[in-house]
Amino acid sequence: MQVNVLGVGFDNITMEEAVTEGVRLLSAEGAHYAVTPNPEIVEVCREDRSALEAVNGADLVLADGIGVIYGAKMLGTPLKGRVTGIGFAQGLMERMAENGKSLYLLGARPGVAEKAAENLKTQYPGLRIAGTRDGYFQEDGPVIEAIRASGADAVFVCLGAPKQEKWMRKNGEATGAHLLVGLGGCLDVFSGEVQRAPEVFQKLGLEWLHRLAKNPSRIGRMMKLPMFLVHVAGEKGKKK
């Protein structure tokens, strides 16, 4: 079942259910992709039709961001809970390591994906890394070809939103992978370049505050959050 929050259809599932579905898609025929929108991306989708199509066209739309959970609740259609992109990725890698599936890491600045690959191979023994590639390429063709040649089952696409969602929609099929996941800044975290917020921030849904404190230039982007809540309140008014 999906819950509509300002035009974006979120899957109403728990983390466990999301990982189970991800594992199923990994072995299903054809190409599939998963997205993890937060309020900022929902706001982008309101103004960018092709971003909205890319997000809503995904096989899995996971509610990453406490704001989405609040928004859905305010609209009277609560979601089961938050499914963070990073948690989903971790759950998926655990299962991939058990099943001998291979993963391609695409995105972030040069050198970051390689570092992430080294760390992930240690953290998930048995996980096969099919290849890596930074996210600052000019042409899609050689990147698609490299992924196809690697024979990867899954690709983590970390190019920032909404670039990664559009990229997966356009090129997912051509990569030959069964599951692509849009994960924003996750490779920066997996590589150890960026520290994830302390657990207490994560539990309170305040990861965004930690990221802002570490990187104050994000303030412009974060101003989208209050706008999101204003738009949700407006939508709620219309529903009455």
Residues binding ligand UDP (CB under 6 A)? 107-109, 135-136, 158-161, 163, 184-185, 187-188
By the 8 A CB rule, do 179 and 25 touch? yes
CB of 43: closest distance to ligand UDP in angstroms? 13
Strand order in the sheet with 179-182: 60-61, 32-35, 179-182, 154-158, 102-107, 128-133
Q: How far is the CB of 185 from ligand UDP (least distance, A)?
A: 3
User: Nearest to ligand UDP by Cβ — which residue?
Assistant: 135
Q: Which amino acid, 132?
A: T
Minimal distance, residue 36 CB to ligand UDP, in Å: 8
When the beta carbons of 44 and 96 are compared against ligand UDP, the nearer one is 44
Nearer to ligand UDP, 201 or 235 (CB): 201
- Residue 23 or 83: which CB sits closer to ligand UDP? 83
Cβ nearer to ligand UDP, comparing 72 with 187: 187
Task: Tell me the closest approach of the beta carbon of residue 143 to ligand UDP, in angstroms.
Answer: 11
Taking the CA atoms of residue 224, residue 105, residue 69 and residue 72 in that order, the dihedral angle to the nearest 10 degrees is 80
Asked whether 165 and 180 are in contact (CB, 8 A), the reply is no
Instruction: Burial-class residue 72 by CB neighbours within 10 Å (0-12, 13-18, 19+).
Output: buried
